[in-house]
Amino acid sequence: MALLIIGSQRTEEFAAAARALNAGLDIRVWPEAGRVEDIRYALAWGPPMGVLKTFPNLELIISVGAGVDHLLKDPELPDVPIVRFVDPDLTSRMVGYLVLHVLFHTRRMCEFLELQRQRKWEYRGEPAMHEVRVGLMGLGVMGEATAKALKPLGFQLRGWSRSQKSIEGVECYAGQENLDAFLAGTDILACTLPLTPETRGIINRDLLRRLSQQGRHPQLPGPVLINAGRGGLQVEADILTALDAGELYAASLDVFETEPLPETSPLWSHPRVIVTPHNAAETTPEAISRYMLRQIRRHQAGEPLENLVDRARGY
């Protein structure tokens, strides 16, 4: 009975952390898998296509990320349970990232950084927090925790998700048919959607044009996009066009169509774009190992798994 760690650039770190927590566990780090029949569990982040099916006794896959698009894109993925990584540390980091970037753009910091470069002391006037409407796209664990953190600061909150949610202090919208109404009253769009066939490319020019159509405070010069979900959700050429057409005021992007973001991407140098290296909610090896060991224990004890993925839904 062995655990395979596969796909991440940090496999050795994860293995070390898991060994520290459970010295007795037989851990193999891909590509040194040993006898394929031994592997019962896999901790995986974007494993090479077709590899996981080569382990005939695989019983459980644990995703290193909260999203599982990196697993589901494998057409030959074995039909075993998959659990997503949901963890208070991961969630808290995501909340910190989103609150930071919501505040950053509310305070027009791209402009103030530019003024600083020019050594110019200039007032711009910024909206008060209660004058800004933040739209949370995705109302899972992360979206809901972000709402909870933004609420006491005074922001007006709305949220959109696939199925109807009910969160205190958040105006909740659901489904394609209510997307327009959600977008029209959203000044800062903060996205934590999972990447599924339905959401791929959803952040395109058409969507960006529909943002903040009514009632935006005059001191926020235009709508803002924050994407901390997945790069596949966004069409980067459309984001750049929308920025340059003045349809979008600014953006903070943590995820990209291709990662690492290619050196040639114009996003790097756009004065109203903040680029971060997919670090909004980086997993610590200790946290992921603790979580993984708990799921393995539950599985062995026949207890229900946490955060089990619905493959049809895609998350």
Active site residues: 230, 278
DSSP characters for 148-185? HHHGGGT-EEEEEESS----TT-EEEESGGGHHHHHHT
Per CB under 8 A, 148 contacts a copy of itself? yes
User: Binder to a copy of itself among 86, 112, 174, 179 (CB under 8 A)?
Assistant: 112
Per CB under 8 A, 96 contacts a copy of itself? yes
Residue 131: CB minimum distance to a copy of itself, A: 10
Single out the residue of 178, 167, 174 nearest to residue 145, CA to CA.
Answer: 167
Per CB under 8 A, 310 contacts a copy of itself? no
Residue 255: CB minimum distance to a copy of itself, A: 12
Residue closer to a copy of itself, measured from CB, 40 or 101:
101
Beta bridge partners of 63: 44
CA distances, 126 to each of 5, 103, 218, 296 (Å): 48, 11, 9, 50
User: Binder to a copy of itself among 62, 95, 172, 183 (CB under 8 A)?
Assistant: 95
What is the C-alpha separation between 44 and 76, in angstroms, rounded? 15
The residue assigned the tokens 């459970």 is 22
What is residue 133's three-state secondary structure?
strand
Dihedral sign (CA 70, 5, 228, 261)? negative
What is the C-alpha separation between 228 and 150, in angstroms, rounded? 16
User: Binder to a copy of itself among 237, 268, 271, 306 (CB under 8 A)?
Assistant: 268
Per CB under 8 A, 263 contacts a copy of itself? yes
Q: What are phi and psi of 214, to 5 degrees?
A: -130, 145
Contact string 270-289 vs a copy of itself (x = CB under 8 A): ----xxxx-x--x-x-----
User: Binder to a copy of itself among 8, 63, 106, 161 (CB under 8 A)?
Assistant: 106
Q: How many residues bind to a copy of itself according to rule CB under 8 A?
A: 46
Token pair belonging to 136:
């949370």
With 0-12 / 13-18 / 19 or more C-beta atoms within 10 angstroms meaning exposed / middle / buried, residue 149 is middle
Taking contact as CB under 8 A, which single stretch among the options 38-46, 66-74, 107-115, 223-231 is the one that binds a copy of itself?
A: 107-115
Residues at the interface with a copy of itself (CB under 8 A): 89, 92-93, 95-97, 99-100, 103-104, 106-107, 109, 112-113, 115-117, 119, 121-126, 128-130, 148-149, 152-154, 259-261, 263, 268-269, 274-277, 279, 282, 284
